[in-house]
Amino acid sequence: MSTDNTYGFTTTILHNDRQKEIEHGSPHKPIHTSVTFGYHNARELADVFQGKANGFRYGRQGNPTVSALEDKITKMEDGVASLCFATGMAAIGAVFQGLLRRGDQIVSSRFLFGNTNSLWQTCAEQGIAVALVDATDVAQVEAAITPDTRMVFVETIANPRTQIADLARIGELCQQRGILYVVDNTMTSPYLFRPKKVGAGLVINSLTKAIAGHGNVLGGAITDTGLFNWASYPHIAANFRKQAPAQQGMSQLRAKALRDFGASLSPDAAHQIAVGAETLALRMERESANALALAQMLEADPRVARVHYPGLASHPQHALATDLFRSYGALFSFELQPEIDCFDFLNHLKLAINATHLGDTRTLVIPVAHTIFFEMGAERRAEMQIADSLIRVSVGIEDTQDLLSDFAQGLSNY
Ligand SMILES: *Cc1c(COP(=O)(O)O)cnc(C)c1O
């Protein structure tokens, strides 16, 4: 099959492995379980170690099955290279391990995935200042920038309140100041949005969520979009400076974060994620349509106090979402009227599962203040606009009418 970059999103993913050598005609990249890779002679081995020839050395820093998935993610994000990790958090941790030093400062969003928020606290304990601002307002991001600012890190749609960062303006700001712009694209996935479009230098994806999509495997990735000038980044170590500027960032991340900390993705997991990714577009279409139908039904119901979903005209960044994203995503949150107990309501649902996680094929519900955002405390929850009664819904691919009926019968008890 010839390379044709006019193919659509799903065609490209389905046929990407065939752009390279097809092993035994297998349409799936085989699962290579070998930890080490042998060469015909010692010189070839030495050349691989010295970077004079391409090849795999040891499973922790690279594997053919994982590499095939990395190629696919690069295509999905329209980037130049990707690195996979054991989890999404390992990918975010790699940014910290591979690129930041004591005395640096980062600017990030106040509305952030809970574990990323916790990781930034660890950064702060280790001498990296973290400014958390309302990233829906570019002026706040700009005001937080100091001469020590090494990166701005935001998410596309925040979980669980669905605030949307002012992605394009922050991108322009980072470009003007020469600051690395890192966007966690997990909530939108590369099917709904490519952060490269707004100037991101690095893109993070938790592969566990929409990309793998079935709640049966963990993984994470960093993609270099090729937009950031690594020659200008102060913390590239001397041995990586010898490479072409375009490769310096990912080479350092591969060595200092993936190799040295070792949170590598297993080849079995890479295979599972690659299979899941084939239907990313189909699932996202269905999940977004289901989420919109359910959010609209709830918003119109007098027993519901408010619904937070970018697809609703009442959402503060509805116009921005319409402009930037292909559709509005699979996640929304809502609050019932104060006299209805959110635990009692959740107990009435028959289809939706009481569980954490998002981007699954099955609809999941969770009272966030009492679970995933419990540890951070009431004050921080208030800053993130998370009410005690807030229910998060990660919408699956169930038949729309079944989902609407489940929530309607849940509400009918009040
Ligand atoms: C889940 C999630 C992560 C972490 O991913 P894991 O694969 O669970 O480690 C990071 N960012 C966002 C926005 C997420 O939703």
Domain annotation covers residue 272: yes
**High-pLDDT (> 70) share of the chain, %:** 99
Of 85, 112, 115, the one to substitute when testing ligand 1's pocket (max ligand atoms within 8 A of C-beta) is 115
Examine the domain organization and report whether 227 and 310 are in the same domain.
no
- Do 372 and 339 fall into the same domain? yes
**Residue 346 belongs to some domain of the structure:** yes
What digits encode the pLDDT tens for the residues 29-67? 999 999 999 999 999 999 999 989 999 999 999 999 999
**3 domain-assigned:** no
Give pLDDT, residue 22: 76
* Residue 48's CATH number: 3.40.640.10
Atom 8, ligand 1: residue with shortest CA distance: 88
Same domain for 73 and 185:
yes
> Average model confidence (pLDDT) for the chain?
96
| 296: in domain | yes
Residue of the CA atom closest to atom 6 of ligand 1: 88
pLDDT attached to residue 302: 97
Give the pLDDT confidence score for residue 19 in this predicted structure: 81
The residue to mutate among 96, 109, 206, 392, having the most atoms of ligand 1 within 8 angstroms of its beta carbon, is: 206
d(CA 384, CA 396): 25
Q: Are residues 125 and 102 both part of a single domain?
A: yes
Ligand 1 pocket check for 109: Cβ under 6 Å: no
Same domain, 303 and 257: no
Q: Please indicate whether residue 389, judged by its CB atom, sits closer than 6 Å to ligand 1.
A: no
Give the span between the Cα atoms of 29 and 18, in whole angstroms: 9
Q: Whose CA is nearest to atom 1 of ligand 1?
A: 206
Q: How many domains does the chain have?
A: 2
Whether 4 is covered by a domain: the verdict is: no
- pLDDT above 90 covers a percentage of the chain that reads 93
Last residue of one domain, picked from the residues 215, 249, 277: 277
Torsion of CA 343, 345, 348, 353, to 10 degrees: -60
| Ligand 1 contacts CB of residue 218 (under 6 A) | yes
- CA-nearest residue, atom 4 of ligand 1: 88
- With cut-offs at 50, 70 and 90, classify the pLDDT of residue 18: confident
Q: Are residue 286 and residue 270 in the same domain, yes or no? A: no
- Least confident range from 2-16, 20-34, 164-178, 190-204: namely 2-16
Q: Which CATH number belongs to the domain containing residue 379 in this structure?
A: 3.90.1150.10
Residue 72, CB half-sphere, CA atoms under 13 Å: how many?
33
201 and 299 co-located in one domain: no
Does one domain contain both 194 and 82?
yes
For 52-105, what is each residue's pLDDT tens digit? Answer: 999 999 999 999 999 999 999 999 999 999 999 999 999 999 999 999 999 999
Name the residue of 96, 111, 208, 216 whose CB sits within 8 Å of the most ligand 1 atoms, as the mutation to test its pocket: 208
The CA radius of gyration of the chain, in Å to the nearest whole number, is: 22
What global pTM score does this model have?
A: 0.97
Q: Give the model confidence (pLDDT) of 229-274 as tens digits.
A: 999 999 999 999 999 999 999 999 999 999 999 999 999 999 999 9
Peptide bond into 64 cis (omega under 30): no
Domain shared by 307 and 234, yes or no: no
Instruction: Identify the pLDDT of residue 365.
Output: 98
User: Is pLDDT above 90 for 385?
Assistant: no
The CB of 159 under 6 Å from ligand 1? The reply is: yes
Report pLDDT for 5: 65
pLDDT score of 401 more than 50: yes
Instruction: Label the pairing between strands 149-155 and 391-394.
Output: unpaired
Classified as helix, coil or strand, 413 is coil
Write the burial class of residue 300 (CB in 10 Å: 0-12 exposed, 13-18 middle, 19+ buried): exposed
CB 278 within 8 A of CB 386: no
Domain ends where: 277, 299, 323? 277
Residues 237, 328, single domain; the answer is no
pLDDT on residue 392 = 97
What is the predicted pLDDT for the residue at 208? 98
List the domain range (segments joined by +) for residue 79. 9-277
* DSSP H helical ranges for 206-336: 238-241, 245-252, 260-261, 267-277, 280-299, 318-324
Together in a domain, 138 and 84: yes
pLDDT (0 to 100) of residue 1:
43
Q: Separation of 204 CA from ligand 1 center, angstroms?
A: 9
Q: How far apart are CA 172 and CA 179, in angstroms?
A: 10
Q: What pLDDT is attached to residue 4? A: 55
Q: Are both 319 and 262 inside the same structural domain?
A: no
State residue 143's pLDDT score: 98
* Residue 313 located in a structural domain: yes
In a domain, 1, yes or no: no
pLDDT at 2 (0 to 100): 45
206 belongs to a structural domain: yes
Residue 3 clears pLDDT 50, i.e. is over it: no
Q: In the sheet where 105-109 sits, what is the strand order?
A: 81-85, 220-224, 202-206, 180-184, 149-155, 105-109, 129-133
Report how far residue 70's alpha carbon sits from residue 325's, in angstroms, rounded to the nearest whole number.
23
Domain stop point among 258, 277, 296? 277
Instruction: Quick: pLDDT tens for 180-219.
Output: 999 999 999 999 999 999 999 999 999 999 999 999 999 9
Q: Name which of 396, 55, 359, 23 is nearest 220 in CA terms.
A: 359
